[in-house]
Chains A and B, each alone.
Chain A
């Protein structure tokens, strides 16, 4: 990550041109609503990522960076809208670099120096756009729904890749497992067909060799002593007449016809009927329970959706979904249907033998339909073909189970077999009519067909074995993935939970010293409960105030960012956060940020001057590292409460002879100045409950306080016998005295009663000396080198020194021996 040294914004959003010096330190932008604070946040985000969150995402309508990134007057000049950041990169040994981005080429920043390390550093920032935290985002970590919170947190931790891979691995594991029954059935069919040729009941090496070797002997072939994976049972045979077109092997065809008759008989058997009847009754029972039936449909839909999800959009409604959100949401719903899943599995177990019987009949039909086509003339097997179609329909319906009524209808009729006797009789007659082969021919046909079916069996077996390996491997990988990721996520949440609670205790150490929190991950959700004064753990929105919730949001964000980036958490923009947090707790927030994140540069925006004052007084913001915005106009953009802007603007009014506006601005500035001076010099001011201080309440106190401090410093310097310091103070006193006297003559002219009334009728020439007097007067409160107003150190307790930002002035206020 980086630290920002300087921001230069030009024709961007509401800003015409603005340069802010951050010096790599914490920085605050303060000002009323609409003075350009958020423009700075937009500018930082744009420079680093090319995007502006406020112009993207839900609820932004047709807004875009391209169309609305430039200043409203520069909409047709996207090349003029630019942000330049001068940064330091701590991970590169505090290397200096610059990134500049224009709206026209938002995706192509200009980076200097463009070496790979610097580019990588900026890319890593781009990878973490969560460095900007706004108030609207702050609260979402705290009070959102568990499912939504999980999404927010996972999104912040960038865990979408975890869910993406989980989805893919699950899909592969499901598919591989789903392939197995088909492969097993193919192998079983291959075995059945092979056994039919071999005319044996069991498939073993011995049974094959026992069937094969006598035929081989008849043909003068050497016996096979072993049956290996590539052994050919027809090894040595020179002709393969059995495979010639039109040639039906009599013996095998007769055996296959017998197999078909057996299979059809099995369908009509009492035991098959009973199995169908039982399954039908159970399906009917399940169908009576509307909730279960509904659950069953939902379960099937959810499972299909999970299997078909492509990582981008819901396969059912085509709504775009993030992988984690989609799988989490559906998995959560499936978890609620556990009971339904068990009932479905029970019925599927009942249906399995029925499916096997249907499949066996179908396979036997296939074989005979093939034979029918080989006879000359061909035997009409329409009845067989039609029944095969019927069986296929029954099989498919039972496999998919739903709709349950259709399954019940199939089960009611599954045992019915149409009259196929004419076709079967024709086939029987045709087989009988095949000339009786010689023993040698029969042996040859046997070996050829046995080899053919043995190869089919071997292929099916290999496919099943490969399928089992795949299913086993995919399941193991998916299971291991689940275990590792769940453990890791639980650890993350545990770490974040601990850090979160410790941060929160720090900002609430007055009354929540024993505060604890619980982050509870479950499928697709993240529960978040917090302790409420020892009365138990509740969701944060249950009892805690909004101020406390704001604090929790910040603490959770900091804990997550700390976990996400570790030592690379060097930079964060906190846009208008903590508005509900009261003064005392804000001081603690300052302490937390200072002590726990000393290496992180925070950039704050706030419209609350008191909050800015707290940040300054607690040392979170040092020196002049803030921009105090005063106004914003569409023509000029934001203006600051600083010498450059105020005096230039007053001069502008005077140039136009608008004395009233100049006087109003001068008074307004002096009010701001007096507030600042009283704060920095720790002047005694009469307390006002409404915090509304008039110029007369503050400026005389600031003036007398500075005079007193200079006197005190002089006394102290004398006590230490520091003549040069005494002389220096004397010179300051003289200049200050003169400035004070001059303003004394002119004060009446900045009285509101004057500058808001026409009768005053002051001319430009009348007011120029007033401005000059007050400018000299305000200058006397600060250092000519660093332009920073003097301040008393420390900011509490005994007053020890009067200083400026650069150290050019550092007056001891303590006398010798004091």
Chain B
């Protein structure tokens, strides 16, 4: 397939279309991380939900209460 001649133009990574839901969830995790006592929990939740895409209750519970697992 043809590609454009000017490689510089193509060098920029593609703008990944983020769903509105992902943006809102991201805002929530940012807010939660700033709350006292949630500095470690928020990134764990973010990973489960946004990176792994898991919304199942056991996984969310495990992220919220790692001491119980």
Q: Contact residues of A with B, CB < 8 Å?
A: 1, 89, 91-98, 112-113, 117, 120-121, 124, 127-128, 157-162, 164-165, 168-169, 171-172, 311, 466, 470, 473-474, 476-477, 480-481, 484-485, 488-489, 492, 563-565, 567-568
- Asked if A95 meets B4 with Cβ closer than 8 Å, knowing A157-B20, A164-B55, the reply is yes
User: Which of B1, B2, B55, B65 meets A473, CB within 8 Å?
Assistant: B65
* Alpha-carbon distance between A565 and B27 when the two chains are bound, in angstroms: 17
Judged by DSSP, the binding face of A is: helix
- Asked if A93 meets B15 with Cβ closer than 8 Å, knowing A98-B1, A484-B28, A488-B27, the reply is no
Residues of A within 8 A of B23 (CB): 488
Contact indicator B31/A484 (Cβ below 8 Å) = yes
B-side interface residues, number (CB < 8 Å): 40
- Smallest CB gap from B65: residue in A: A470
Interface core residue of B6, B21, B68 (most chain A CB under 10 Å): B21
A-B contact pairs, 22 of them (CB 8 A): A1-B17, A91-B15, A93-B9, A96-B1, A120-B14, A120-B16, A124-B16, A128-B17, A157-B20, A161-B55, A162-B21, A164-B55, A165-B25, A165-B55, A168-B60, A311-B55, A466-B67, A470-B68, A474-B64, A477-B38, A484-B24, A485-B28
- Asked if A91 meets B14 with Cβ closer than 8 Å, knowing A96-B1, A168-B57, A477-B32, the reply is yes
Residues of B within 8 A of A1 (CB): 17
Contact indicator A172/B57 (Cβ below 8 Å) = yes
Contact indicator B32/A169 (Cβ below 8 Å) = no
Contact indicator B25/A96 (Cβ below 8 Å) = no
Contact indicator B17/A473 (Cβ below 8 Å) = no
Instruction: Say how far A362's CB is from chain B's closest CB, in angstroms.
Output: 28
Instruction: Say how far B38's CB is from chain A's closest CB, in angstroms.
Output: 8
Q: In B19-65, which residues have CB < 8 Å from any A CB?
A: 19-25, 27-28, 31-32, 35, 37-38, 41, 45, 49, 55-57, 60-61, 64-65
Nearest 3 A/B pairs, CB to CB: A93-B10, A93-B9, A161-B21
- Asked if A161 meets B1 with Cβ closer than 8 Å, knowing A93-B6, A172-B64, A484-B24, the reply is no
- Smallest CB gap from A112: residue in B: B1
Contact indicator A489/B57 (Cβ below 8 Å) = no
User: Which of A91, A162, A169, A477 meets B24, CB within 8 Å?
Assistant: A162
Contact indicator A158/B16 (Cβ below 8 Å) = no
Residues of B within 8 A of A563 (CB): 20
Contact indicator B15/A162 (Cβ below 8 Å) = no
- Smallest CB gap from A563: residue in B: B20
Contact indicator B3/A95 (Cβ below 8 Å) = yes
Residues of A within 8 A of B20 (CB): 157-159, 492, 563-564
- Asked if A157 meets B21 with Cβ closer than 8 Å, knowing A89-B14, A311-B55, A480-B32, the reply is yes
Residues of B within 8 A of A95 (CB): 3-4, 10
Contact indicator A473/B60 (Cβ below 8 Å) = no
Residues of B within 8 A of A165 (CB): 25, 49, 55, 60
Contact indicator B21/A94 (Cβ below 8 Å) = no
Residues of A within 8 A of B37 (CB): 473
Contact indicator B10/A92 (Cβ below 8 Å) = yes
* Alpha-carbon distance between A798 and B30 when the two chains are bound, in angstroms: 60
- Asked if A121 meets B55 with Cβ closer than 8 Å, knowing A95-B4, A158-B19, the reply is no
Residues of B within 8 A of A158 (CB): 19-21
- Smallest CB gap from B49: residue in A: A165
Instruction: Say how far A601's CB is from chain B's closest CB, in angstroms.
Output: 16
Q: A93-B9, A481-B32, A565-B17 are in contact. List 7 more A-B contacts (CB 8 A).
A: A1-B17, A95-B4, A161-B19, A161-B49, A477-B45, A484-B27, A485-B24
- Asked if A96 meets B55 with Cβ closer than 8 Å, knowing A473-B41, A473-B64, A480-B35, the reply is no
Contact indicator B19/A568 (Cβ below 8 Å) = no
Residues of A within 8 A of B28 (CB): 480-481, 484-485
- Smallest CB gap from B56: residue in A: A168
Instruction: Say how far A313's CB is from chain B's closest CB, in angstroms.
Output: 15
Residues of A within 8 A of B14 (CB): 89, 91-92, 117, 120-121
* Alpha-carbon distance between A159 and B28 when the two chains are bound, in angstroms: 14
Residues of B within 8 A of A162 (CB): 21, 24-25
Instruction: Say how far A112's CB is from chain B's closest CB, in angstroms.
Output: 5
Residues of A within 8 A of B64 (CB): 172, 470, 473-474, 477
* Alpha-carbon distance between A488 and B20 when the two chains are bound, in angstroms: 10
* Alpha-carbon distance between A474 and B45 when the two chains are bound, in angstroms: 12
* Alpha-carbon distance between A78 and B60 when the two chains are bound, in angstroms: 43
Residues of B within 8 A of A97 (CB): 1
Residues of A within 8 A of B45 (CB): 477
* Alpha-carbon distance between A620 and B47 when the two chains are bound, in angstroms: 45
Residues of B within 8 A of A466 (CB): 67-68
Residues of B within 8 A of A159 (CB): 20-21, 24
Instruction: Say how far A131's CB is from chain B's closest CB, in angstroms.
Output: 11
* Alpha-carbon distance between A488 and B29 when the two chains are bound, in angstroms: 13
* Alpha-carbon distance between A165 and B56 when the two chains are bound, in angstroms: 9
Residues of B within 8 A of A92 (CB): 10, 14
Contact indicator A476/B35 (Cβ below 8 Å) = yes
Interface core residue of A112, A484, A565 (most chain B CB under 10 Å): A484
* Alpha-carbon distance between A568 and B37 when the two chains are bound, in angstroms: 38
- Smallest CB gap from B28: residue in A: A484
Contact indicator A161/B65 (Cβ below 8 Å) = no
* Alpha-carbon distance between A488 and B10 when the two chains are bound, in angstroms: 33
Instruction: Say how far B66's CB is from chain A's closest CB, in angstroms.
Output: 11
Interface core residue of A98, A470, A489 (most chain B CB under 10 Å): A470
Residues of B within 8 A of A93 (CB): 4, 6, 9-12
- Smallest CB gap from B57: residue in A: A168
Contact indicator A169/B60 (Cβ below 8 Å) = yes
Contact indicator B61/A172 (Cβ below 8 Å) = yes
Interface core residue of B1, B16, B27 (most chain A CB under 10 Å): B1
Contact indicator A127/B17 (Cβ below 8 Å) = yes
Contact indicator A160/B21 (Cβ below 8 Å) = yes
Residues of B within 8 A of A484 (CB): 24, 27-28, 31
- Smallest CB gap from A164: residue in B: B55
* Alpha-carbon distance between A171 and B49 when the two chains are bound, in angstroms: 16
Residues of A within 8 A of B65 (CB): 470, 473
- Smallest CB gap from A171: residue in B: B57
* Alpha-carbon distance between A158 and B20 when the two chains are bound, in angstroms: 7
Residues of B within 8 A of A477 (CB): 32, 38, 41, 45, 64
Contact indicator A489/B68 (Cβ below 8 Å) = no
Residues of A within 8 A of B60 (CB): 165, 168-169, 172
Instruction: Say how far B6's CB is from chain A's closest CB, in angstroms.
Output: 7
Contact indicator B16/A488 (Cβ below 8 Å) = no
Instruction: Say how far B33's CB is from chain A's closest CB, in angstroms.
Output: 11
Contact indicator B22/A96 (Cβ below 8 Å) = no
- Smallest CB gap from A96: residue in B: B2
Residues of B within 8 A of A565 (CB): 17
- Asked if A94 meets B19 with Cβ closer than 8 Å, knowing A172-B64, A477-B32, the reply is no
Instruction: Say how far B45's CB is from chain A's closest CB, in angstroms.
Output: 8
